[in-house]
Structure 1
C-alpha cells in the first residue's frame, strides 16, 4: 500500500512540476532576451505573493518527487530498507524543502 501511495505521489508531483518547469523556462527566456539584470529581476519579484506561490509550489513538488526517486535508487543500489530508508527519504525531502524554501523566501521577501 505504501508503494502505491509513493508511486501516486511521485506521479502527481510530476504533473504539478510539468507546467511549472515550462513557466520557469519561459520566464528565464524572457529575462535573458530582455537583458534584465539581477537587480531588475529581484525588483520584480520582491514582495510578490504570486512569485512566492509559483516557486514555493515548485519547490514542494520537486522535494517530494526527488525524495521518492532517490528512495528507489538507494533501495535498489544500497539495499537500504525499513526505518533507515524512511529516515533517508524524509531527510532528503525536508532538506530540499528547507533549501528551496530559503531560496524562494530570499528572492521574494528578503
Structure 2
C-alpha cells in the first residue's frame, strides 16, 4: 500500500495532469456554448472518437486519484480514521469515481 509521501506525490501529480485538462474542458465548453451546439450535436462530434475518449478518460483517472487522496486527508483529520479502514475508504472512493467516470466517458464517446 502507498504511504504518506506516495499519497502526497499522487495528489500533486494528478493535479499537474488535471490543470491542462480543466483548461481544455473549459475551452471546449465555451466553444460549444458560443457555437450554439445542441446536446445532440456535441454527442455526434464525440461519438467513436478515440481522442475524446483519451482526453476525458485521462481526466477521470486524474480526478479519481486527486479526490480520493484529498478525501483521505479530510477523513483522517476529521474522523481520525486510520490503518486498514482508511486505506479501504481511499481505494473505495477511487474505484467508485473511476467506475462512474468511465461510464460517463463511454456514454459520451460510445467506445
* In 1: Cα distance, 2:22 partner to 2:103 partner: 19
* Root mean square deviation, CA, Å: 1.0
1:25-78 CA distances to partner (integer Å, 9 max, x unpaired)? 000000000000000000000000000000000000000000000000000000
* In 1: Cα distance, 2:72 partner to 2:45 partner: 37
Does the residue aligned with 1:35 lie in a helix, a strand or coil? coil
1:1-21 CA distances to partner (integer Å, 9 max, x unpaired)? 810011001000000000000
Unaligned runs of 5+ in 1: none
Does the residue aligned with 1:60 lie in a helix, a strand or coil? helix
* In 2: Cα distance, 1:2 partner to 1:77 partner: 19
* In 1: Cα distance, 2:36 partner to 2:27 partner: 14
After superposing on structure 2, the runs of 4+ consecutive aligned residues of structure 1 that deviate more than 6 Å are none
Q: Trace 1:8-19 onto structure 2 (pairs within 5 A).
A: 8-19=9-20
* In 1: Cα distance, 2:44 partner to 2:35 partner: 15
Does the residue aligned with 1:14 lie in a helix, a strand or coil? helix
Aligned residues: 110
* In 1: Cα distance, 2:3 partner to 2:86 partner: 13
Name the counterpart of 1:26.
Answer: 27
Give TM-score scaled by structure 1 length: 0.98
Name the counterpart of 2:46.
Answer: 45
Unaligned runs of 5+ in 2: none
